[in-house]
Chains A and B, each alone.
Chain A
Amino acid sequence: MKTRHIFLIFIGLSLIQLFVPFQMISSKESVLRNGVPYKFKTRPVDPTDPFRGKYITLNYELCTAKTNDTLWSRNDDIYIKLQTDSLGFAKVEEVSRSEFKNSDDFVRGTVAWGGSKDGTVNFNLEFNRYYMEESKAYDAEVAAIESVRDSLPNNDTYAVVYIKEGNAVLSDVIINEMSIKDYVEK
């Protein structure tokens, strides 16, 4: 193959290599700008990713839903339509195996276990990773535990998630009405 052809193919490949991160950014930015923010009560723990560093995994309180479907099995995709409760936190309106056509405010998750006789399904939400500076991730976990233990007023730990047409972007984690990044520095 001629050098010119190789170079042209390389230009094409370079554009794809640039397009992938650009696409990642633009889809997330669109959700952050035009999505609806929801608050999800949560509790963080801190694991590590070898390439992307320290993050806290968020265990959400919102993880079960009533359903008449008894055929749910582990790792099935599940779509959760959301609404807010009297305190402003996200709660499940209904669940489905397919996307909701009549609403933008739904998120995707995977079934943890389901199809039980009590008519509930347990699920994991997709947006359960919040990356933090390596020195802060462990402190964040400790801070969240202490916040719950001390029963402080306004001690809710929750994640702020923007949602648009089933896409969700985790924007911040709040402890005692403060961003977790600032809270651990306190």
Chain B
Amino acid sequence: MKSMNSKLIKELPELVSNKVISVAVSEKIAEYYARKTDQSPNKLMVIFGVLGSILIGLGIILMVAHNWDDMAKSIKTMFAFIPLLIGQLAVGYSIIKKKSAVWKESSGTFLFFAVGSSMALISQIYNIPGNFSSYLLTWVLLCVPLVYLLKSNALWVLNLVFISYYACEYGFGSQHMPLWYVVILLGLLPFYISKIKKDNASNLVGVISWLLPLSLIITLGAFIKTEWESLPYLYLLLFSTIYLLGNLPFLANRQLRKNGYLVLGSIGTIVMLLLFSFKWIWKESIININPSSEELIIGLVLFLISAVTFKCSWKKIKKEGFNLFLYIMALFPVLCLIGTTSIITAVIGVNIVLFVLGLITIKKGIDQYHFGISNYGLLILSSLIICRFFDTNISFVFKGMLFVLIGAGFFVVNYLMLKRNIKK
């Protein structure tokens, strides 16, 4: 776009000399584009500004972490406040002077790290024993409002990363539930929703569509406090919920690389189903499973989100036809119920579901002329076959033939699609 503008501006003298436009009009056009360039937020500047602030902030924290024994306590205390005050002044200035996004993003990021370094230094001076998770939580709580005051994308991402870090620190290996993670995540959501409404195609929405599900996937384990048995069930529910979220009308029409929900949800669902396609996991878990009330609540919340998401996407789902991925959330509990009476029936059911998912994905890939999707379908089928390689008593000759067939399938499908593409 920018090169088009400069091309147009370069041609202005020629247009004037050929009397296509007047000198006055030419000046007006030049002035218009000059003003437009000034006003448009320079994305590169924002990125460099934020990166610079992150590096400076982390640099200060690392210098603080050296623990300067030779400095007097009063000087150390002063140093604890200097970055904080500089950050606050910079943020205050960018608010009051209505400075550009570059200023707001950079000063906000710097202040974020200044808050952390200030608390770190005081913890050192007074040997405050407070554990790492409470330090992270206080840090994030002091910085979450900045997201809304500065309308800062970088701060949104930083807060999400640090609150996920907190959830892992606090929840894993302890009996504590990182409930503050949920509270802060809910506090961050309105900003994300407003971004989707305003500028759904923006890079930030794309980046968050990967970071948010990743955060949920990583932190789910921090909420599980009993034995491991309920974990795979909850993860399968989470992955299918994430897939449903990625299928929401305003997210689904994005490119795959900008829809992390769909990619992570789909891969996660397949991996978990592959796990459930083995008899041993049912034997180990379904008999011993005794979910706590918290785990039941997590399961119910996931169901609720899925139901609402499904309802919101219903028109799109009807239009696009049958996609088994969308029904895993409803299908899997039925398989679990069957599993309580007959494990072998449930295992066969999961294998059939995986087989159908593979076929549907291949068909979708062929219909859309998408090599990636069709090969993903073939990958699902071959993974299923590889898994069965380990736990069935079929002969090596038959297993070998299956592998040859699936390998040939890869060639045939890709060849046919390439041929159709060329014809088109």
Known A24-B119, A75-B175; contact A7-B96, beta-carbon cutoff 8 A: yes
Q: Write out the residue numbers on chain A whose beta carbons fall within 8 Å of the beta carbon of B69.
A: 132-133, 136, 181
| B337 sits at the interface (CB 8 A) | no
A130 at the interface (CB under 8 A from B): yes
Nearest chain B CB to A14 CB, angstrom units = 5
- In the complex, the answer to whether A3 meets B95 with C-beta atoms within 8 Å is yes
Tell whether, in the assembled complex, residue B67 and residue A131 are in contact, meaning their CB atoms are under 8 Å apart: yes
CB distance from A178 to the nearest CB of B (A): 14
- Interface residue ranges of A42-61 to B (CB < 8 Å): 49-55
Of residues 113 through 138 on chain A, the ones whose CB sits less than 8 Å from some CB of chain B are 126-134, 136
Q: Which secondary structure dominates chain A's binding surface?
A: mixed
Interface string of B45-83 (1 = CB under 8 A from A): 000000000000000010011111100000001001100
Number of interface residues of B (CB under 8 A): 40
In the assembled complex, which residues on chain B have CB atoms less than 8 Å from the CB atom of A7?
92, 95-96
Q: B312 at the A/B interface (Cβ < 8 Å)? A: no
**B122-130, B236-244, B353-361, B391-399: which lies at the interface:** B122-130
Query: Which residue of A13, A132, A170 is within 8 Å of B67 (Cβ)?
Result: A132
| B91 within 8 A of partner (CB) | yes
Chain B: minimal CB distance from A114 (Å): 16
CA distance A25 to B123 in the complex (A): 9
In the complex with contacts A9-B145, A25-B77, A51-B129 CB distance below 8 A = no
A153 interface residue, CB < 8 Å from B? no
Is the pair B81, A21 in contact by a Cβ cutoff of 8 Å? yes
Decide if B164 is an interface residue (CB 8 Å cutoff): no
Residues in B neighbouring A126, C-beta threshold 8 A? 129
B88 and chain A: residue at smallest CB distance: A14
Give the residue name and chain of the B residue nearest to A57 (CB): B129
Contact partner of A13 among B80, B96, B118, B149, CB < 8 A? B149
8 A Cβ contacts from B244-279 to A: none
Docked complex Cα distance between A62 and B125 (Å) = 24
How many angstroms from the CA of A17 to the CA of B126 in the assembled complex?
Answer: 18
- Most B CB contacts (10 A, CB to CB) among A11, A17, A55 go to A17
Q: How far is the CA of A44 from the CA of B220 in the complex (A)?
A: 35
State whether the Cβ of B206 lies closer than 8 Å to any Cβ in chain A.
Answer: no
Residues of B within 8 A of A50 (CB): 65
Docked-complex contact A170 and B135, CB < 8 angstroms? no
Contact B142 A20 (CB under 8 A): yes
Q: In the docked arrangement, what's the CA distance between A24 and B84, Å?
A: 15
A53 contacts B66, C-beta separation under 8 Å: yes
Q: Are the C-beta atoms of B98 and A21 separated by less than 8 Å?
A: no
Which of B61, B67, B92 contacts A134, CB < 8 Å? Answer: B67
User: Shortest beta-carbon distance, B101 to chain A, in Å?
Assistant: 15
| B138 surroundings in chain A (CB, below 8 A) | 20
- Expressed in whole angstroms, the Cα–Cα distance for A6 and B96 within the complex equals 9
The answer on a CB contact under 8 Å between B122 and A3 is no
Residues B145 and A13 in contact, CB atoms below 8 Å apart: yes
A152 at the interface (CB under 8 A from B): no
Asked if A142 lies at the interface with its beta carbon under 8 angstroms from chain B, I say no
Q: Does B154 contact A (CB under 8 A)?
A: no
Are A6 and B84 also in contact (CB < 8 A) when A130-B127, A134-B67 are? no
Q: Is the CB of B66 within 8 A of A134?
A: yes
Is the beta-carbon distance between A3 and B98 smaller than 8 angstroms? yes
Q: Can you list 16 A-B contacts with CB-CB less than 8 angstroms, sorted by A residue number?
A: A9-B149, A13-B149, A17-B88, A17-B142, A18-B88, A24-B122, A24-B123, A24-B128, A51-B65, A52-B120, A55-B124, A127-B127, A127-B129, A128-B129, A131-B124, A134-B65
Given pairs A10-B91, A10-B95, A53-B120, 6 additional interface contacts (CB within 8 A)? A20-B142, A51-B135, A53-B66, A127-B127, A133-B69, A171-B127
